[in-house]
Each structure stands twice: as structure tokens, then as C-alpha cells.
Structure 1
Amino acid sequence: MHKQLGLALALAVAPLAASAGEISYSYIEGGYAQLNQKLPDVAVDGDLARIDDIEAGGFFIAGSAELGESFHLFGGYKSGSDDVGVTILGIGGGSADVDMSQLNLGLGYHHGLSERADLLTEISYLGTEVDVEGENNEGDDARLAIGVRGLLADSLEGWIKGHYTDGDVYDGEFGATVGAQYKFSPAWGISGEAELVDDTSLFTVGLRASF
């Protein structure tokens, strides 16, 4: 009886879990995120201020939902904080608390190039906030991305995308995103991603559940 019940449960769940050897566009994930921003030196009352780069560590959550055979919705939220050092030549130095966050929402189209690789096209919205000692700065941007996602092995997939972003924070800037996922079971895997755009970089590593 217990064996039959176990088999029935396994067969009921099996259609919901992506196999280790296929690309899934329905998943949720979360983990550690780091948001980096290079900052230039600035002048303060005629004195040069040297500002450390922001390296805001925190968390991220993200997900994707497949719509039919070719489209998918995706989104995510990244947040981190850092204590940034500032040195004003001839005066002294100090630090400031900085909080950074970014929300992204988008629609993607995927088309099979082969049994193990898809061509991706994505359009998305980015909302970025930077809070410096309680002073909030925010901006909205639009992004167009084109890339490839495919299976490097039955349990390992990777993706690479080039993108163009324009709006309040990104001023018509080109960038790239690379990522990978190692699946240690049909439903669960470890994912990592790096996004590079001019003086901004975002890194994530986390746990992904595919459906």
C-alpha cells in the first residue's frame, strides 16, 4: 500500500518538475546579491573628494513563468547596503550608509535553435533606487536584450545576453549578462549570474526551483 501511494504521488508531481535535461522558463529563485557602482572623484567647495566604490551586499528574489510555447514573463528584486568611505583632501574623511535596490519586470520570447539551445529576445523595465543617508535617488529605465540560453550538459545550462539600456540611470548604455545553473535534481539547482553595464555591475548566486 505504501509503495503504491508513493508511486502515485511521484507520478502526480513528475509533470510539474522540469527534467535535468531540459530548459525551463518557469522557476523561482533567491539568494545573495551584490550591487556595485564605480564612483568618480568630485569637488566639494574647491576640495577634491575621493569616494570609494559602492559594493552593496544583500539579497535577491526572482522568477519566471512560461506563457505558451514561446513567451515568458520574468521579474526580480535585488537589494544591498554598504558603508562607503569618503576622503576630502585637506579636510579629512568619513563614511556614509548607502542602500541600493533594483526591480526588473519583463516579457521574453524564446525560439529553439536546436534541441539544446534557444534564442532569447527580452524587453524589460528597470526601477533603481539609491539611498544615501536618507536622501533617496531613483530612476526608471527600459532595456532590450538578445541572447542565447542552452544546455552545456544534462545538468548544466548557461546563458549569455547582450543588452541596451536607456532612461534615467543608464544613458543609452550597452552591457552584457552571463549566467549558469547546475541542477542537482530535476527541480532544484544552484544558479549564478553576472551583469555588467559600464560602471555598474550586479552579481547573484542562489537556489532555483524549476517547474
Structure 2
Amino acid sequence: MKRTLLALTLLAAIPFAASAAEGVSYNYVEGGYTRADASNTGTNNDADGWAINGSGAINPNFHVFGGYSKVDINDTDISLDQWRIGAGYNREINPKLDLVTKVAYEKFDAGQGVDGNGYSVEAGVRGAITPNFEAYGMAGYEDYQDFDGDFYGRVGATVKFNPTWGINADVKFANGGDTQWFVGPRISF
């Protein structure tokens, strides 16, 4: 009976026994410049500003993440505050590559009573191409109350100067033609 119980316990733990791919860290803080280009949507409501993002591993396969950005919409007095907080699961699919899934609560506030609460889900891969270069590609969906949902793709890369310091760049392509990008220094720990 004890052997059966031990075998069942080990079998149940197999999905959680893997660790993050070699060279990929889910512990970081980054900050930098962000821009949204909406010219492809016909509105010409481009915006730019700053953002801060972070992630922390709570065990080898699960992490929490969050971010905040503040952008000013060009040629207006409107500022847009946007933040997200969520959790992710990563599973090593080879020694240098992780399968990643994320779910997040999203919120934005443009002032003047224009705000929204919503969620996003995304899945993709993240891996260490070389010891100093990490890249990722994600597909996702986000939806806010009172606004139509939207599919998007996200690609990004981090160039690492050493195990702690690097530069991260991220581009998000939304289904409606909106493009958002970020670039800034990253501190990994």
C-alpha cells in the first residue's frame, strides 16, 4: 500500500518536476520607453511614455508578473495609465526552450470616465538562443468590458551583458493594426 501511494505521488508530481530552460530567468525588473502606433487603425492616436515590468518565479514552473505604463496620446491632453498583473506557467520542452502560458488581469484609465477592466491570456515559447541572447514569441487574446476583444502576437528579445544586466525589446502586434513596443534595461536576479 505504501509503495502504491508513493508511486501515485511521484506520478502526480511529474508535470511539476521540470524546471525552466537553461539560461532563461523568470526573475527580473525592467523599465524603459514604450510607444503605441495606432496609425494603421485610421485614428492616428499615437502615444509614447514609460513603462516598468517585472516577474518573479515562485517555483521552477510558476511565476507571477506585473507591469505599469503611462503614455501621453500625441496632440491631446490625454494620458493613459495601464497596468496588468498575472501568473504564468513554464514547462521545459528542451534544455534551451520553454513553453509558456500566462493569464493576467488588465486595467486602463484614460481619465474623463474612460477606463476598462479586462483580462488577457497568452501562450508561446521562450528560450536562450546563446548564453547572451534570449528570445520569445507569444500569441494572445485580450478583452476589456465594454470593448471588443482582440487577438495579438508578441515577439521580444533580451541581449545580456552579464548574468544581471541586459537590454530588452518587445513588440506587440494587435489584430486591429495597433503596434506597441517597449525597449529598456533589464535587471535579472
Which amino acid is the alignment partner of residue 163 of structure 2? Answer: P
Runs of at least 5 residues in structure 2 that lack an aligned partner in the other structure = 1-21
Count of residue pairs brought into register by the alignment: 167
- Structure 1 unaligned residues grouped into runs of 5+: 1-20, 42-51, 85-95
The structure with the larger Rg is 1
SS of the aligned residue for 2:110 comes to: strand
Q: Which residue of 2 aligns with 1:30?
A: 31
1: CA distance, partners of 2:57 / 2:184? 21
Using the alignment, how far apart are the partners of 1:128 and 1:73 within structure 2? 20
Separation in 1, partners of 2:32, 2:41: 30
Tell me if 1:54 matches 2:40.
no
Higher-strand-fraction structure: 1
1:24-173 mapped onto 2 (5 Å cutoff) = 24-38=25-39, 52-84=43-75, 96-131=76-111, 135-168=112-145, 170-173=147-150
- Alpha carbons 2:41, 2:178 under 8 Å: kept: no
Any idea what SS the aligned residue of 2:151 has?
Answer: strand
Q: Say if 1:169 and 1:121 are closer, same or farther in 2 by CA, change over 3 A.
A: farther
RMSD of aligned C-alpha atoms? 1.8
**SS state at 1:97 partner:** coil
Match of residue 89 from structure 1:
none
What TM-score do you get using the length of structure 2 for normalisation?
A: 0.82
Asked whether the 8 Å contact 1:141–1:170 carries over to 2, the reply is no
Q: CA deviation at 1:206?
A: 0.4
Alpha-carbon contact 2:38-2:45 (below 8 Å) kept? yes
Structure-2 separation of matches of 1:170 and 1:67: 33
How has the CA–CA distance of structure 1 residues 36 and 23 changed in structure 2, closer, same or farther, with 3 Å as cutoff?
A: same
User: Which letter does structure 2 place at the counterpart of 1:178?
Assistant: V
State TM-score, norm by structure 1: 0.74
Aligned in 2, Cα 1:161/1:169: closer, same or farther, shift over 3 Å? farther
Give 1:187-202 correspondences, 5 Å limit: 187-197=164-174, 198-202=176-180
